[in-house]
Amino acid sequence: MPRLSEVIAALDALWPPERAEGWDAVGTVCGDPDQEVTRVLFAVDPVHEIVEEAVKLGADLLVTHHPLYLRGTTTVAASTFKGRVVHTLIKNDIALHVAHTNADTADPGVSDALAGALDLRVVRPLVPDPADPTGRRGLGRVCELDQPLTVRELAARAAERLPATAQGIRIAGDPEALVRTVAVSGGSGDSLFDDVRAAGVDAFLTADLRHHPASEAVARTTEGTSTPLALLDAAHWATEWPWCELAAAQLDEISDREGWGLRVHVSKTVTDPWTAHAASAHPSPATTLPTSASRPPSSDPLGAPN
Ligand SMILES: [Zn+2]
């Protein structure tokens, strides 16, 4: 049975903490290096429901993608929600370890898992890590499809293959445009538009896209200044969850190799903060569609209003 320090050393070899961004807060948040580990739970968010799940499971180690504290704190009082997380973890002898931007850029990393979930063939990183001589590490991935799909079909595949969320998948651009190449980036991707443009892909699948960057990307298409770019916006949590399965499989393999006998689990609890989605029930003012009273129920799997 391995000690926490041995398991953490294995995780640090997969996602070296020094490769995290300077603003990030990765590594072990709590836990005794000498405690023994038999059961590990992977999840995206270190929120209370996940910690409760770890307690019920009898986990000794919780590994999350998102940090608990990104900035410093002066209190872990149980009257604060993050402090409550720390208290519950320590009372139950559960360690918490975070692999965030060091897992994003790893090979394989968060966007490899996302591409794998969608059956996309990874060609290269979207933003290569200049420190990596193999050219395989970096942020986001540029991918090819074995068979071209329309944007609508690719969105339907993402909706089917990624865990279900209230948001589903939003599309910007022409839903009927053909996609042969797509950039993917798990988590918030709207700082990557320049790299996506430079990659010359047909589509970009990420999360947390905002009005102005999305609007500009589509406007540049209509100006004819660049190849048409379609955007697919999924829930942040859903784009990063496939990494939990990848990471759990990686730790399983190490456990087998080392003879540790770890039991490794992936949380299926949806911790996306958005809990419901009301699609517009009436046509936009610019359309001449029948009124909502006479419209048949939408069969559009994407829940698009038009
Ligand atoms: Zn994230």
- pLDDT tens, residue by residue, 178-218: 999 999 999 999 899 999 999 999 999 999 999 999 988 87
Rounded distance from Cα 275 to ligand 1 centre (Å): 17
Q: Residue 263 is encoded by which pair of tokens?
A: 């039991």
pLDDT at 177 over 80: yes
Measured CA to CA, the distance from residue 45 to residue 42 in angstroms comes to: 9
Which residues make up each annotated binding site? 65-66, 104, 236, 240
- pLDDT tens, residue by residue, 53-68: 999 999 999 999 999 9
Calculate the alpha carbon distances from 174 to 138, 158, 209, 219 in Å: 29, 17, 17, 12
- Residues 302, 280 contacting (CB under 8 angstroms): no
Q: Residue 93 carries which side chain, given as an amino acid letter? A: D
Q: Which CATH number fits domain 4-101+240-266: 3.40.1390.30, 3.10.20.30, 3.40.109.10, 3.20.140.10?
A: 3.40.1390.30
> Which percentage of the chain shows pLDDT scores above 70?
90
105-234: same fold as 4-101+240-266?
Answer: yes
Question: Which residues are placed with Cβ below 5 angstroms of ligand 1, an ion?
Answer: 187, 240
pTM over 0.75: yes
| Residue of 150, 173, 177 whose CA lies nearest to 158 | 150
The residue ranges of every structural domain in the chain are 4-101+240-266, 105-234
Which residues make up each annotated binding site for a divalent metal cation? 65-66, 104, 236, 240
Measured CA to CA, the distance from residue 26 to residue 196 in angstroms comes to: 27
> What CATH architecture applies to the domain 105-234?
3-Layer(aba) Sandwich (3.40)
